[in-house]
A and B are shown apart, each in its own frame.
Chain A
């Protein structure tokens, strides 16, 4: 081993394995909790308090078990200048408290939870750091971190395997949808409005009585080639032309920190980002024509017209406040790509040399210029920040997507003085 020194200056292999009861469970699964609420029955202007009926107590419920396996490697190279830490882990929640067996209504309440199901999280974390001082006093440093994980239900009691429900094999965050083909053209229809020969029939989604697919509307790909765009029974294995088109769990989260120091001048840069994240949003910022009669955003003006068939958005339509019908069924084309790289901070500073300090009789004097959230590079197709969500004010209010305050860009200039 000596011979590897100083190329490999430090090496440690780590492994740990442990299992513990999951304390993160709902008390209502274990105790017959009677939560209090207002009865909406007034007596002399007082809303009478009441309590709920206690739920059923499970006859044989025991702890969920969290088992964690972690394998790690720490290494340093070139006289400790370059370091690396790597961890791979697998976290398994077994005997999950999942829905009980289906009981008839005669039971009178929801069936008690039981231990069934397993959720597995596999992930890894990598961090690299580097430090170097040049002969001319220039010091540089870098720290890069990268993490990723994926959660999958490895066991679940659901025999029907509905694609919107939990089922064995489900990757958490997955988004089911259709593959966008193109816009319909005149040629896709016969003169009576019916689908021309060889064009997959989408009439299954013409459910509201007034919307009929026509030129300028979104045409989906007939993945199973049966001549009809459909969703089968919306179950795994019979999902018609639907497939998993993305996942809303952030993947490959990373951070980069760079620093340099030269003769009193210091520079530090911090960037942060997400490598991959998909999102099927809702609301008028995302969907043009979300509400009948509401104004359209500027980015939505590139819509299909007979003259502008190469547009980004389909023919204008009243989407009836829906992100799962007509032209905005979940689909690949409009699925938001929420990956990004954000310049979180750049700071440039200058510390005055000792000679100046002595004259001024101070210990330290530093001038700096700093900027926060300076810019981001993002793949998102609409003008929203890649980290936005719905507002908290109206939780689940679908109209609020993209209407939140974005991250504030701020620039600051300062003087640091210690006596």
Chain B
């Protein structure tokens, strides 16, 4: 019995008297990646950075989504759906896009990169990548909500001062965004392992031109702040200019940017998203192929110039809009690469009909259209993320807007290195745009589109037209209208032309097939895609330029005695 006591006393004393050092017991799991041990090499840094890509570079999406391309964005004046999407009417109780997860991700990334064992050049490059994505996120937040709290580091759960920080002025935030972009433009490598598929200096510059153009024009049209407008527009112009001067890019075939099986060697694409059968595929090609689709509006079709470079209402070459052959006669070459010009596809007649009769094939690869990979969600065509064509348009718009803010007037040289490059593209077949005085001209003759919005100077009107046509269905239009303060264009009651399709005659078709079609003048006229007047979208409240802050956030702030202000008109 005694030995048993002795033995148990020995073991008891072991547990009581012999302690362990803390860090011996506190070992992070060895079979998992944890923050404490992850940041050990540049390879790991790069791996983490890919986590940003799908958040910002959606391309054609995957499965049955397609990002903002094609009918991914129908709230604009390009698309004429039968059931138009409308502006938000209610303040969401939660969510609503008010999230700072991506900001946190970028801040953690920037913070961790500083202590990774690698060359200073590498630290600077990856810091630039982190700041680039932080700028992207803050641009998105500001574009959506206006003023937002700005954070440049990860928050602690106990830091109430930061957690319940009030909204910073959008200009303050966008100054930070500009700083981030400038840092990125200076420090991100000009060439990376896979140019075109990874963020390099050109990608930063291209997005910088887009973001700064957005904010510059917003400051001009919404905030009436010419100083900030000029500053941001100069930044947009500078960034675009860097890319143009680099000579790294040129224009190839227009449609090939959107329907190629591989964009690897496309001279125009600055960043693209790779798709591959069996790994990652999308459905956008299919919805330009054998599926019914949302059609282009009459208003958008009419914004295409005729091949003499003149608006349709001024050109003798315009053949009117009765019949697809007439609509498509003698136009800007891009119309043929964007739309099916050989036939109308009417609801009830064609299985792959368009709501307006005019079908889009911009995203269709003709060589796979009858293959399995051409249908359903199996499409392997690559998606452009950002391309040279947009940079040229960002450049000329920044220049034209700067001219209205006391900057240098738009010169012929500015046009020749931007819009006229687009017009020289193979297949576009348009004469150069000229500037005479401050007016647009072709062939030495000044013109002024009678359909011009009188608020917009004639030359800027042509710049905006070029942008609309070149970038059509790429998901930019709504943002453009917002920053120009022109959401009124999407009001379907005030602008019936955006709710009109092709002109047809019922007698040209067997009557039974057209029972779902409403025309403007009974038996003939323009197709009215959204025929129920209750379904028409109206723009009757300026508040929709900014989204509402979700209610739960306002309440949470209030519980702490802080006011999180709601956006105007949403209170």
Contacts and interface: CB of A to CB of B under 8 A. Distances in A.
Given A42-B275, A54-B35, A104 B556 contact: yes
A108 B155 CA distance: 8
B34 A31 contact: yes
B22 interface: no
B51 A39 contact: yes
A108 B137 CA distance: 12
B464 interface: no
B100 A43 contact: no
Contacts of B51: 39, 50-53
Contacts of B44: 51
B280 interface: yes
Given A47-B280, A59-B156, A34 B38 contact: yes
Contacts of B197: 41-43
Nearest to A40: B54
A48 interface: yes
Contacts of A109: 101, 104
A39 B50 contact: yes
Contact of B33 (A36, A101, A111, A112): A36
Interface string A32-72: 11111001111111011111111010110000000000000
A393 interface: no
Helix, strand, loop or mixed for chain B's interface? mixed
B75 to A, nearest CB: 25
Nearest to B158: A59
A100 interface: yes
A49 B48 CA distance: 8
B64 interface: no
A105 to B, nearest CB: 5
Contacts of A45: 274, 276, 279
A419 interface: no
A81 to B, nearest CB: 34
Contacts of B280: 40, 42, 47
Nearest to A57: B35
A362 interface: no
B245 interface: no
A138 interface: no
B553 A53 contact: no
Nearest to A47: B279
Contacts of A33: 29, 32-35
A102 B57 CA distance: 31
Contacts of B62: 40
A51 B48 contact: yes
A41 B276 CA distance: 11
A43 B194 contact: yes
Nearest to B278: A45
A385 B179 CA distance: 67
Contacts of A107: 100, 104, 155, 157, 163
B373 to A, nearest CB: 15
Interface of B: 28-29, 32-36, 38, 44, 47-51, 53-54, 57, 62, 98-105, 108, 149, 151, 154-158, 162-165, 194, 197-198, 273-276, 279-280, 550, 553, 556-557
Given A31-B29, A106-B155, 15 more contacts: A41-B57, A43-B197, A43-B198, A47-B280, A59-B158, A103-B163, A105-B98, A105-B99, A105-B550, A106-B162, A107-B100, A108-B103, A108-B105, A108-B154, A109-B101
